[in-house]
Structure formats: C-alpha cells, structure tokens
Amino acid sequence: MNSFWNGKRRFVALLMFLAGVFVALEVPPVIPFIQLPGEKFPEGFDIPFTGIRWTNTMVGSVIVWVVLLLFVVYVSRRRPKDGNEAPPGGFYYLFEVLFEGLMGFVGGIAGGRHFRVIFNMFMTIFLVVLMANWMELVPGVDTIGFIHPHVKEKYDAEKDEYKLVTTDGYEIYQGFLGISYVNGQCNWISPADEAAADEAALASADAARLAAMDEQAVKAAYARYQAAHNGHGDEHAAETTAEADEASAAYDEVLAARVAEKQARADRGCHTGVATAPWQDGYEPYDKTKAKGISLHPDPSSEEAKLVPWVVLPFVRVPSTDLNMTLTIALISFVMIQYIGFKALGIGYLTKFFNFGTLFKSPLGGIDVAVGLLELIGDFAKILSFSFRLLGNIFAGSILLFVMSFLIPILPWPFFILEFFVGVIQALVFALLTAIFMNLATISHHHDDDHDHDEAH
C-alpha cells in the first residue's frame, strides 16, 4: 500500500481531487431530466440502413459489448498457453481468481453434466449486467450530451392544429469555446408563469392585509370593553393607535418577499423570472398577443434560446435503466431455462406444467394438475421479476447519484461506493437465479419416485 502511493501517484490523486473540488464549486450541477424510456437522439442520428433513431441507452449497450469484446481479447492473450506457464500478475490474475471462485460457487449449486452450459450462461449474464450497472459510475454518463429544447407539439382539437408548448427545464449559457451549458441554478420560467406568480403575490398581500385588519378590529373591540369595565380605555386606545399601520406593513412584507425572490434569481445570473413586478416602477404588463412564438429547434447561441427551457439529452445512459435491456436479458434467461429443460428431459419436460397422468389414478391428481399450472405461471412471472428487479434498483441508484451529486457535489463518494456494490449484487442475483432455475429445469418431478422404484428392484 505504501509503495503504491509513493512517487507521482500521490500528486496525481491530489491533483484529481483538487480538480473535482474546483469543478464542483465553479460549474453549477444539473439534475438531468429523468424519464424511464431511453431518450431518442435528434433527427439525423439514425442506425444505418434501418431508419431507426439511436437512443442513449442503445449506445450504452453497444459500449458494454465493445468493452466486453476488448476484455475477451485481453484475457485470451494473457491466458497461459499450457499448465506449466505461470499466470501473469496484475488484473488478469485477479480475474482468474474471481473466475475460479465463481466456477466453484456455481458448481456447488448446479453441478452435473449440464454444468458447463449453466456456468457459461451464468458468467455471460453476470458480466453483461455488471458492466451495464457500473456504467452509472463513469463521469459524463447521464450528464454530457445534446443541449435539447424541452418543447413539444400538442394537438389543439378546437383549432384542429398542432401548437408548440414548453415544459420544465433550465436556462442555458455559453461557456468555454462556445459550448452551451445548462444552468442548474436557473430553472426556466415563462413570462406567463411569472405573471401568474406576481398575481398570486398580490392576492396573498391582500389576504395578509385583511387578516391584519380583522385582528385590529378584534383588538379595538377588546379595548372598548376594557374601557367600559376597567377604566383602561386610554391605554388600550394608544395600543390600537400604534397598531394602525400593521395592515399596510403586512401587505408590503408579502410583496417585498416576492421582489427579493426575483432579485435572488437575478443575482444568480438568471434571465427569466426577473421582470419588474406590477407594483414597481417601470412595470410593463405581459401581453400574450404580442408574445414571440417559440421554435421547436432554436439555436442555443441566439436570443431565441431564452424563450424556451432546455435540458440535457445525454449521449450515453445506463442500459440497465431501460426496460428494453432488462426485459431482453430476462427473455434470454427464460428461453435458456426452457432449452436446458427440454435438453435434459426431452418432451417429458412438459409434464412439469401439464401433469395429467395422475388425474384419474389418484384422489390427489387434481392437485398435481393445479401445481403444474402454477409452475407454468411462475415461469412466465420470472420474466417480470428479473426485468423489473434490475430496472428498479439501478434506476433508483442513478437518481440517488444525481440528487446527492447536486446536494453535496464535493463529497458524494460514499454513494458511488454504495452503487458500486449494488451493481455487483444485482448482477450476481440475476445470474445466480438464472443458474438455479436452469438447474431446477433439468430435474424431473418424478426423479425421487423412479429412484425409489429402482431400489425396490
């Protein structure tokens, strides 16, 4: 350990830490727009010869397979040519130890003549899911991508036409080398929403003034009562006079809070939601009829960009956060379970699900039929269980990293370490359950009965 941190490595680690602190303090963190399906790339980014648009989760899957291919090439080249050659050290030695450990672990669960098929499937699923899960720990995944205007077309049934509407998003600014950045400190606010917030502030101020006036009326009535019964009228009258301006103060306080909110946005460099309020000098009413039309594809560097909200459409997203990927692996696992069942038991494998042999021979024959049908339903339920378990855990982990990196951008490392182990556990669970179910598919329900019958002979 000491030798590892000797020399230049310490300075490299320190430099990386300081660079991380600088970026965390200077670059406003942005929570990406979160949605379950993979985001489609803009027009022009189609898969060659298909007309199908690339998605960022599809790109992530391609990267996973490329990395695994390079990994296979690395392992095949580093692998000893014969038993007399000592294995090389470093990463290959670590992988060989893990590989042999997993082989022994799976062999204790699914040993036998079908072990090689089961283990190959186990290891393939484990590596694919592990690489996909760990992608959420790579810097730039889910955070670097296209600056995308969050505008969509909505059909207006009354006018029989489509119109452009804005949704939630952020403001953008031009940074180094003309690159556009999403400003995570300034959520975009439309003029209509800002005008509605100003009107709501005026209504709240009026309500505060009326509440203060009601309170004053109660105090005045109490003062008159005290004057009539205790002779302290002059004292309470003075108190009532001193509180005469409370209603006006309550009104001004609410409006001052609204102005302070606008000023705080202006201090952060925001350009929306900072217009002059109706109760301030220089106010110009918002006229919807004169409002500029928004564009579906505005230029990020133009003034038109201020009229729409923006989000980051990542180049790469974690494949495990897309149901397409998890469901595909679940279907492959399901097909392999049925394949090895037929390979081991032949057509007799179907008696696990359609066991009518004892229906008319035994009083319990109906139970065998019901159990078989339940097992058939359970086999199909494995598809949902596999796909949604992996999807839910990794998708929730990605959101956790987004939020914690936003709240504590300098020290989110404990959560990255947590997701590192969550990725391993989820990959291991998915692969291990596949191996267990494949092994169970090779075992006949009548195995014990046949064994007892052979012993009797």
Host domain of residue 212: 191-314
- In the predicted structure, residue 450 carries a pLDDT above the cut 50: no
Domain membership flag for residue 387: yes
- pLDDT above 70 covers a percentage of the chain that reads 81
Out of 244, 279, 314, pick the residue that ends a domain: 314
pLDDT-wise least confident of 120-129, 138-147, 216-225, 425-434 = 216-225
Domain membership flag for residue 48: yes
Domain identity same for 281 and 234: yes
Domain identity same for 252 and 341: no
Res 128: pLDDT: 95
- pLDDT above 90 covers a percentage of the chain that reads 29
Res 448: pLDDT: 47
Domain identity same for 303 and 325: no
Domain identity same for 451 and 324: yes
pTM of the predicted protein model: 0.76
Domain membership flag for residue 151: no
Res 4: pLDDT: 53
How many angstroms separate the CA atoms of 166 and 305, rounded? 12
Out of 293, 314, 335, pick the residue that ends a domain: 314
* 3-class state of residue 155 by DSSP: strand
- Please check whether residue 110 is in contact with residue 439, taking contact to mean a CB–CB distance below 8 angstroms: yes
Out of 255, 289, 314, pick the residue that ends a domain: 314
Domain identity same for 332 and 436: yes
Other beta carbons within 10 angstroms of residue 221's beta carbon come to 11
What total number of domains does the chain contain?
2
Res 454: pLDDT: 41
Confidence of residue 396 (pLDDT cuts 50, 70, 90): very high
How many angstroms separate the CA atoms of 117 and 337, rounded? 11
Looking at the chain, how many residues does it have? Answer: 457
pLDDT-wise least confident of 23-37, 175-189, 221-235, 272-286 = 221-235
Domain identity same for 304 and 327: no
Domain membership flag for residue 222: yes
313 beta partners = 146
> CB-based contacts of 22: which residues, under 8 Å, 6+ apart?
none
- In the predicted structure, residue 41 carries a pLDDT above the cut 50: yes
Other beta carbons within 10 angstroms of residue 414's beta carbon come to 10
**Comparing 217 with 76, which gets the higher pLDDT?**
76
Domain identity same for 243 and 265: yes
CA atoms within a 13 Å half-sphere pointing along the CA-CB vector of 356: 2
Res 426: pLDDT: 95
Domain membership flag for residue 36: yes
- In the predicted structure, residue 447 carries a pLDDT above the cut 70: no
Helices vs strands, H then E, count in the chain: 11, 6
